[in-house]
Each structure stands twice: as C-alpha cells, then as structure tokens.
Structure 1
C-alpha cells in the first residue's frame, strides 16, 4: 500500500473510531501545579471543568500567597495542556474555587479570594484574560451557578453550615439567599447543581477540607432552591478516610467526550510531608444512573479505562471539508482558519445542507455548535442542525430563528412533514455568538437542548438513525465542533468496564443481541422499562430504580468488569422473591466462579434481601462475567464485589499494659491495671482493630460502664473511620454497626456519618458492674448477646439498599467513662 493511502486511511479513522486504548489513574499529576512561595506543593484543589465547543477547560483554586487563576485544556478529560494564567487581576490572590459559565459570548468566572466574599470576572475566551466586573459581593465561599431550562439563573454558596441559593437576574446580579436546608452536620460547602429528567440534583461537601472525612453527599428536589432531600440510602457517594487517597470532596460534574457518560471530578489530599497543608490533587470517576439514583463508580486509584470518545467527531482542524461531508442543495461551504466550517450564501430562501458521510445508530446523542454571521431579508432566515438524515424525504432539523428569538424543529418522515414546533429562547439572546444544540434520540423520542436548556421533546415515529450535519436558509453561519455518539440517556454504562471492587446494577448488562449479551426466553421486555431488548425489566417502587425480573431457568446476562487487583472477592447480590428454591450462578468467561447459590425468600416482591457467596478468585484486568438464573424467579437489583480476606483470630486482655495494634481516634484511651480505659465522660471516643476486608466474625468483650449516663459497646463492619475531633466536633465519623449497652437496655445502631437506631431490647444494667457482650455478624444478619451467650437480645437483618457486609471491629464510648477487657475476635 502506498504511503499516501495509509495516511488517508489514518486520517479517516480519526473521525470514525472511538479511542479507549489507554487508561488513567487517580489522582492526576498535572503540569504547572500550584506551589507555595516556599516551593511546598499546593496542587489542584476544588477542580471545576467547563466544556465549550468540544474542548474541556479546567480551573482550580489559587494558592493563598499567589495571584492569578490557572487554566488547562483537554479534548478527552485525561490529557491536559497548561494554558497559562487566565486572569492576573489583583483580587485573584488566593482565588478559591473559581467556576466559569459561558453565556451569550461571554465567560463569567465566580470566585471567593481567600474566602472573603465573591467577585465576578468575565472574558470573551475560556483562557482569558478574565477582567473584574464587580466589587466584593459578599456571600459564602464556593460559588456555583445553575441555569434552568427556562433560562433563569441561580447561585449557590455556603451559608450557616448549609448551602444557600440565590436567584439571579443577570450574571452579575444576585437576589436574597434561600436556605436549601442541606447540611452535613457541620460546615457544608462545594455544591454543584444540575437537572436530569425534570429533577434537580445537588452534590455538596463537608465538613473540613483538611479532614480525612471530607466527603460528598447528594440530594434531589423539585425546585432549584428549596425542598432538597438528601439521598439517605446512597450517601455519602464519595468517601475514603484511610490509605493513600483520602479527604475526597468539592466536586464538579461533566459530560464525557462520548456526549453520554457523566464524570465526577474532585480533589483528594496530596501527601508530600507537609502535614499542616498537605496539598490537593484532582481525581475523576464515572457516574452511572439507574432511575433517579446517582451512583459513583469509585473512588478508584487503580487503572481505569479512559473516557470513551464519540463515534464521530469533527473539529474542522484542516484546510478543506474532505470526503467526510456531503453537500445537499448547494450553498458556499468552506473551512476557516482550520477551526470551523462556514456557509455564506444569503439573499435567497433556498435551504442548504452539509451532512456527514457516516450514519448514527438508531439511538444516539449529537452535539452541534453554531453562530450566525449575517442573514438575508427573506421571510424566515434560520440556521442550525440536521439529524437522522437519510435523504430530503426523511430527516429532522433543529434551527435557530433570530427574528423570532426561538428554536424551531420539524421532522420529515417519508416525505411527510410532521409540522413545525417552536420553543422561545431567553430575552436578549445574541445569535452572533456561539450556541450549542444537543439532540438526544431514544426510540421514537427526540429531545432538543439549546445551551444546556431542555427546550423540546417530540415523539416521531418512522425516523431511525442517519447522518448529522448543518442547515441554513438565507443565513451566513459558522459551525464548530460536531459529534455524535451511539449512546443516549446513560446507555454508555451498559458496555463500559465497571470497576471492581464495586457495585454493578443488574440493568447495566452489555449491549448486544440475544445469545451474545444476554439470553432471555421471552421475545419482548415484559416490564417495558428502561431498555428495548428482550430482557424483562421493571421499575421497582421499593428500590426506587429498575430491576431485572421474570427470570426463567437458564436465562443469563453478561457484564463487563475491570478488576483492580488479583485476589479473592466476596459477592453480595441484592434481590427480591417469594420463591423458596431460587438460585443463581456467576461465570467468568467459561469458569464457574460461584457454583449454584441458593436464594432465600424475601417474603414480598417489594422487599429485597441479600444473597452472598464468599471467596471468588478474580485476576486483575478486564473480564466479562455471566450471571445465570439457575432456578426459580427473582427480581435482580444489583451485585457488589468486595475484596475479602480470612478473619484472623485475636485476643487482647491488655495485661501487657498497652493496646498495641489498635488505632485510637477521639477520647482519652489508656491501659490501666490490665484493662482498656476510655475516660469518656462527656466525650465520645472510638478505637478500631482488624481489616476492612473482613466479613463474618464473632466479637466479644467484657464491658463496665462507670458513669450512669451515656453508652458503650462494640463496633462491627467498620469502614472509613476518622477522628471527629479533628477540625470538627462530630461523634459519628464512621461507617458500620454499633452494638451498645446503657442503663436501660441493649441497642443496635447503624452509623453512616450519622446515627440510626435499628433495634433495642430492655435490660437493666448497673454502672460499675461487668457485662459480657458478644456480636455475631453473618451476611447481613447481626446478633447481639449480653451476658446470656445462648439467646441473642437482638437479631437484626439489614435489608437496606446499602448494608455493610465487610469491615474492621472496634470499641466505642459515648458520654461514658468505660472499662473494656478480654476482647476477642473469632473467625
């Protein structure tokens, strides 16, 4: 093959083939990181990413002793190029959490230098220079802007240990604050607000940036300002308090290059020996969706697949259109400055189109960027996007009309117009500036967005996929970044490699046909929910998401996974059934991982339970797992893989005079007379031991309450413990179960950076007397014994959406001076 033919084919393939050949690792190491003047590392705190005309721009907090805001750019969210200082205004010294919004040709930056009030800067370019537009506007730190579908603006920032919302009447004018009511039981900051399927979402962070327990929660609501409710069963969505990557928080959320996937971008502590200010580094993990559930596939530190690229994209970074575009109807088309395409013939009512040489799939997402240069005097000059184009008898168009300040859409099916429909655009819209049109096609539904505002959804039968492109009628227009992806509404999650350890939603099985991605004996989706193949899916009211149901013997589903490390894993499968003899099996390619696993009845179809299988051996790397329905019928919700390790038996009578091996957190711990003493009257304290990979075990200890108030006991399944006294005053900085005694009884609670009582039993317990407590964990069942080691005082099965099935053990006191002795762990 001649060299010129090889070069031509390589150039063509760059338009058509998504690239996922490489992988990234958290945290990111960026060039030109911020450093203190003494050269100590400061890094990339509070990362915010803006996408404009196909390119991503990253902005981060400025180190306290320097002036300026740095910016990086990327086309794939992984490879970042430093673009210099986008502002050198004096007020940008210690510019905290700069966020940038594009509107009507201007980029607006919101930042709170040193936390001393907000300023607004603006620029005609995402790389600056940003110049000052306002004085000090006050308001708490970490400003975030959300623009609703109706074009109304809202500003969010910290309030009094909460997130405050302010309606805006312009990019620089702010109304009175409204309390969203969202708080993380202390200082709360770093919010991000967005809208999905008509519901408002907010992620938010707390409590202190230098605490290892810095973490992210999310909430949903029907209003952009008030009435948000935390997603209690899902929170926190990001946390890690131990290991090399801790203190996760202050996130932004951005669409991936494939136009469909979502990514959460956040920072973690950077360990460089500077313990006072350890610095921060950027991280990124994927978000997937099931119903209205936001699920972060992370946090990860092992290699993850790069974000997928679109199936077609064009940046027009060449001198001629080339063979990837086809002209329809004439007009004068060309390339300007190797950065955009244009059409400049006006003075006629003729319609000109330029469409791609390649076709999208039937379902897809497409992005178009365009601006008007001039228009003629005809009755209806318009310009914009064409999609699902087969020929002049079958296509859809979404065009902008400056004269009438609106979006206009029409669909032609086999020569029959489906009629024009219109959606108004905000007053003062400047059509000479760049605007983005986004089209999402799912089945017969077409949804059109303009600059992120959802403007129309229409049901059109008879149109499938096709070419995309641009169209003009009596308008000279420029056209920027153009792309389509054969994914829509989060379907990119189906074929992606899900990180293990982690959770996999049952409905996120692979894309493909019967016998390849799934085997289903019914010809159609009996539940009619979520996906349009033969797999039976329904929406579960109890789960608040979609589940796979109506399974029959021999049916199966395939899932792609990315295993972080070779080793043993435990599997927890969440399901609901009224059958007493149901079972499943999981395969890794042709290897039977689990054998047949029996499933117990959950009693009702709207009550879920967890079935477990321990000790599955997986090797690092990408695999395809096959979930087989062996017998019976059950609603399959999700499966979670957790690293597992054999429990090591341990006995500590503290007669050696120390508590070596234990990790103390709050309180005043000491060993006195061969007993572990927590001098915690009026205080809270915890101490842990063991490994977070432990699953089932028995824990025992002698416990003596010295004070008459408060409580003390044993913690099991402990994860993400942190010191609640460091930069905070919170007794609940831990995840796990707490079995404890107090003067009037025995209690079991669930701790998840908050406390929820699960069960209790009356028992009179005198202070100053020894009690023997035993806690047995098995699957999702916890039994608590006090003194009588044969009959449990409490038996509790955690059927919640997120039971804790693995974790360390520990001791805890709450407002009670307590002695512990004869502590034992039995495998």
Structure 2
C-alpha cells in the first residue's frame, strides 16, 4: 500500500518520488506505475539495459568470448590469455551498445503505451496464409492479450517459469529441438489463454495447424477466431516435450478482415510451438484489395554497400518501410510517409537507425500501409 506515503506527503506538503522499481513482469509495471501516476508520484525505472534479462527494455547479449571470462571468474573454466581477455572485454563493450541489444517491446509498451491495459496489439506482423511462433502473442497486460495462473512476482520469485524471450506471465522456454522455432510455450495450465491479432488476411478456406508436444496424452485446448469456436483439440502424446506434431483443424472459412485468434487451455500438460494457416481454397467472392502495392526485386541482392528497392503503388496512402534482422528486431525505419501512385524506388545503405554499419547477414524488408504488408529477404555481404 502507498497510503502511508500519501499521508506523509499531505501532512508535510512534500512531493513523492519512487527512485527504483526493481524487477517484475510487464503487467506489474503497468499496474504499479499507473498507480503512482494516478497519485501524482514521480517514478524512475531501473534500469533501461541489463545483461541477458527479460525485465528491461534492452537486453545485452553475452558473446562466447565473454562467456569464457565468466567461466574463468566463476571457477568453471580455464584461465585465458591476457590478449584473449582484452579482446573478450572489447567484444562485450560493443555488445553494450543499444543497437546491438535485444529489444523487449512488451516492457517498453507497459511503461509508455497508455493503451497497454486496454487494447491488444500485435507483437509482430502476422498474416493469413502464414506461419508464426506461438510465443508471438499480442502485447498487452494480463486479461487483454493473455491470461496466466501467475503473471507477476508476488514474493515467490515466479511468473515466466522459463525466464526467456518475454516478460509476461506466459511461460516460455528455449526449444530444444534444433529444427524448430527458437522458443516455445510450456507449463500450460487450465484457464490460460493466448491472443493473436492478425491484420493481413486473405479471404479463403484454410487448414489451421497448431504445433504441439506432450509427454503424455490428456491435454486439451480450443481455438476461436473473433470469438467463434473453430475446433476443440485433444492433445495426444508426441513422445517427448520437444517432439513437435501438427494438430489439424480443417477447412475454416475466413473473410478478409482483421482476425483475433484465441488459444484457450482446457486441460494442461502440453507445449505450443507454432501456428499455421494453410490455404486450401481461395475465396471466389474476394473483393479487390484497396491500396494494394507490390515490391519489385531488390538489386543487387546480395549487396555490399547499397541496395535499391523498387515499389509499385496503386493508390495514395501512408506507407511504412522497415528493416528487421532474423530475430525479428527492428534495424531501421526507412520511411513513414504518404506515397502517390506510380513506380518508386528507395535505397538502404546497410546502416541501422543510429547510423552504424550492420554486420553481414540476412535481413527482411517489410513495407505496409495499414491494410497490406509485403516482405522481402535481402542479404548483406561485407
């Protein structure tokens, strides 16, 4: 309770300031900082950047060279040479740069988005048809984008039992199947659910495939699209927690509107890895997509210095272009502006939003206009 502090503030006519927040879930941040602001109490979030943590807006990645030093310091590794140690520390210093950190968009939203507590928003752009990881459920507080049996630390130290990827009550772990997605949802409990806003939808008939694993049979869940049940699933034993099998909900008719997919846990005891909408039949009554556009083949691809990206616009609209890395983290927003119909092109010079050259590798260009989103893979070789 903060009543004693409010009473002190009133009695002595002094302002209140909360100087250090500690660590907890994003839902806890939303509730606590909202309480402080409702009572005109200033606050400070501690801290904006941590090493391999899910609780801060930015997370520093520990590279193997620096891990060697950690192992030596903790007594579990041999002593490296002074030259190696110096190089490892320089690598770690470079990892501290914000542009090299992992961004935690859910944490940032819980601190800065006034709609975090009321509107479920996409964590990543998803589309139908398409496949996306189960861990990419929407951004929003408990009861808005998900529910979980324990969604903040009330003294027992727990909420995300896997302590990976996101700072919510949803339990996420690293996927031990090297052929699967990097992370999966585990420790499912009765009554928990996950929500996914899918904005880019092509009308048609689809098979919905949900990748699951279970040590034993007995798990159960159902799926809803915009509040309508589309199937109940009895999860079989797949022979192991990381032996993934697709569960099929066949022949679902989907219209060309934004979709909210809800996965509701009825009986626990299974993991979730990914969700796929696979088109069986295109709609014969599908209306034309307004504000459609297309991306031409970027060139040269692979590229070394600059890559030229052509785009064909059919109708004037606000368009946004953004570059992502293979982890789904935004590298740079190239533009966000109204573009008139016709042929256009723009250039990316292989730099991030801070003006620094990014490393060689695969990147994804995503262009959207709020209704349609198109993506293209590009390869940078230095």
* TM band (smaller chain): 0.3 to 0.5
> Greater strand share, 1 or 2?
1
Taking structure 1 as the reference length, the TM-score comes to 0.20
Q: Which structure is richer in relative contact order (CA contacts within 8 A, separation 6 or more)?
A: 2
Higher-Rg structure is 1
> Greater helix share, 1 or 2?
2
Taking structure 2 as the reference length, the TM-score comes to 0.42
